[in-house]
């Protein structure tokens, strides 16, 4: 019984951790794309920068799903295929 509980807890933890690791990965992809000086309009650049900052803030607030959503929008503008 104790062992089952431990397994359940570790599975739950693993699921949360997988999500939490997604945001930094997306942020890195965005940073990498920005480092290559992509051809974006000024408005797009502003949007990407904002989404990137929002994503990081949401990630730090523990709202990983929302963070992934915001970062996903930035990645779409940058034409990054999410892995």
Q: Which residues bind Cu ion (CB under 5 A)?
A: 20, 23, 59, 64, 67
Smallest gap from Cβ 1 to Cu ion, in A, equals 33
φ, ψ for residue 62, nearest 5 deg: 85, 5
Smallest gap from Cβ 79 to Cu ion, in A, equals 22
Phi-psi bin for 79: left (phi > 0), alpha (psi -120 to 50), beta?
A: left
C-alpha–C-alpha distance, residues 38 and 18, integer Å: 29
Closer by beta carbon to Cu ion, 15 or else 20: 20
C-alpha–C-alpha distance, residues 7 and 21, integer Å: 21
Smallest gap from Cβ 64 to Cu ion, in A, equals 4
Closer by beta carbon to Cu ion, 33 or else 70: 70
Closer by beta carbon to Cu ion, 8 or else 16: 16
């Amino acid at each position: 019984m104790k062992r089952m509980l431990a397994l359940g807890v570790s599975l739950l933890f693993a699921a949360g951790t997988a999500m939490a690791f997604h945001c930094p990965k997306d942020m890195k992809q965005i940073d990498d794309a920005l480092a290559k000086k992509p051809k974006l309009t000024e408005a797009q650049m502003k949007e990407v920068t904002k989404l990137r900052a929002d994503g990081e803030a949401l990630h730090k607030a523990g709202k990983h799903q929302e963070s992934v959503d915001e970062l996903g929008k930035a990645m779409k503008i940058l034409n990054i295929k999410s892995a």
